[in-house]
Structure 1
Amino acid sequence: MYRIVEAKHLADNIVRMDVEAPWVAKHCLPGQFLIVREDERGERLPMTICDYDREAGTVTIVTQTVGAGTYRMAELQTGDAFMDVVGPLGNPSELVKTPIDELKKKKILFVGGGLGTAPVYPQVKWMHEHGIDVDVIVGAKTKDLVILEDEMKAVAGQLYVTTDDGSYGRSGMVTKVIEDLAAEGKTWDVCVCIGPMIMMKFCCLTTKKLGIPTIVSMNPIMVDGTGMCGACRLIVGGEVKFACVDGPEFDGHKVDFDLAMKRQAQYKTEEGRALLAFEEGDTHHGGCGVCGGDE
């Protein structure tokens, strides 16, 4: 069992949990994720790692209630426990594998949209711990949905908070802030963008126009998290990839976001799952309940 050391509500339907998982805390790196299961009847839920404390042996996850599994998870309190915490899974961020002396020469921008702020945080914290100042843009629909602002302030070189409705910080979406800062003379060598797929798509369109190489995390489309179900199948640079085992990070300018979003919508219906199995042929496997690969 994996005890919840602390459970805290960050915003409406958004919960942060520090979980005792010493082996995971010892080995994980920014960019990786976990599979969490509440009990023997619970769903296997992929969760990006928001933070980790190797000394205390804890990992931090942030979840938003969107389905039965996450609603059940949000009801857990400090002192409760998960039956399973599996990880670390996926590949660490490209940037944490880059030599420090090279990183110190780069101007880096991190962009977190909504819940995507959670997986952005450990990367920014890692940069800070290695003496690298980075710019960070955090976006949310409204003031009440801004998360981890204080934590991000402590590790970001410069933090820009924006809300779609203008209720806090700057006004407008993260793409507007990128454009505004660029117009003010800001330049970056690379951008890391994590958030809802539609947000990452338009962020990539903006950075491509500005000539900024961009990394995105495709964790929003993961289901099984081990490459077995095929739910996170996507096209990157014309090649079939799976977010959970090949990623979750990819070159954002090569990701076919339109196809990924269309596929995600289809996956929600039985007829759509059957069509995907037919269309994708040998490259489709498991998870859909149609092709038999999940049995």
Structure 2
Amino acid sequence: MKILKKKILTQTPDTRIVRMEIMAPEIALKAQAGQFVVVMVAREGERIPLTVVDTRPSEGSITLVFQEAGLTTRLLGQMEEGQSLYALAGPLGHPTEVRRYGRVAVIGGGVGIAEAYPVSKALVSQQNEVICILGARTSGLLILEQEMRACCSFLYTATDDGSRGTKGFVTDVLSGILEKQSLNLVYAVGPIPMMRKTASLTLSKGIKTIVSLNALMVDATGMCGCCRVSIAGKTKFSCVDGPEFDAHQVDWEELGARSGIYKEREEHACRLHLKRLDS
């Protein structure tokens, strides 16, 4: 579980996204697109889920990409090459159902681009025509653009401020594509509002749409119930039933409400940590 390589993909005054290559031979042999691992930075810390972005089975390593948002991701971001994680479990979750669909649009928003990357590669391996749509608040936060371009038939970008690609949202780009051509599948991962809008756009056209849900997670084994989501009126757990679900069956109102339930406590934990560092 040693950190082999560390690279800061992008850094702005309020956002930092980091890529790490970690020694994990058994996970590297088994992990598939769409799956994730659970990471513990320290013994007294929490468990956080991170998508397996890439694997190098011959070298026994996996690649993780994360944004320093909460306390644990900030602590992880402070670790350096040569240090080791306290614990790493996986691969977890169901892998993406990869087969020949035809023309597929893969949408990644923000750090969700890192999750879209392995899915895009897997879909291309099955001779699909993959259209990638990447979005971020500004051009400086667009990650893995070169890697995504290499594995997609077409690549579009969108930024809120218009600094790269279309000025607006990835859903604006998707809407324009749907006006000109048909799609057999849409896959989206990123902020909840983006995935919800994507589902709304494709529902009326009857296009199969899959979303990867980053629900709150604690044990990642289906026991705690923290990551529960409502799918077609039934309770499911993102960790063992997902993380991918039919976008048209997700209760988006409930998901949105639950995603912010611990926000205040998380911010409090970060403030305490900063206070300890200053003392």
**TM (normalized to structure 1)?**
0.84
- The alpha-carbon deviation at position 38 of structure 1 amounts to 1.5
> Contact 2:229–2:236 at 8 Å: present in 1 too?
yes
Residues 61-109 of structure 1: per-residue CA shift (max 9 Å, x gap): 1111111111100011122211211000010012x2x3xxxx0x52111
State the alpha-carbon separation in 1 of the partners of residues 212 and 111 from structure 2: 12
- The alpha-carbon deviation at position 220 of structure 1 amounts to 4.0
1:1-295 → structure 2 map (5 Å cutoff): 2-12=1-11, 13-94=16-97, 96=98, 98=99, 103=100, 106-183=102-179, 185-268=180-263
Identical-pair percentage: 40
3-state SS of 1:82 partner: coil
Residues 130-166 of structure 1: per-residue CA shift (max 9 Å, x gap): 4433111011111111000011011111111111111
Q: Which amino acid aligns with 1:107?
A: R
> Contact 1:219–1:244 at 8 Å: present in 2 too?
no
Q: Which amino acid aligns with 1:195?
A: G
3-state SS of 2:193 partner: helix
- The alpha-carbon deviation at position 114 of structure 1 amounts to 0.6
2:275 alignment counterpart:
none
Q: Which amino acid aligns with 2:4?
A: V
Task: Spell out structure 1 runs of 4+ moving beyond 4 A.
Answer: 267-270
> Contact 1:197–1:220 at 8 Å: present in 2 too?
no
Q: Which amino acid aligns with 2:108?
A: G
- Equivalent pairs counted in the alignment come to 261
List runs of 5+ in structure 1 lacking aligned partners: 271-295
**TM (normalized to structure 2)?**
0.89
State the alpha-carbon separation in 2 of the partners of residues 76 and 166 from structure 1: 34
> Contact 2:102–2:128 at 8 Å: present in 1 too?
no
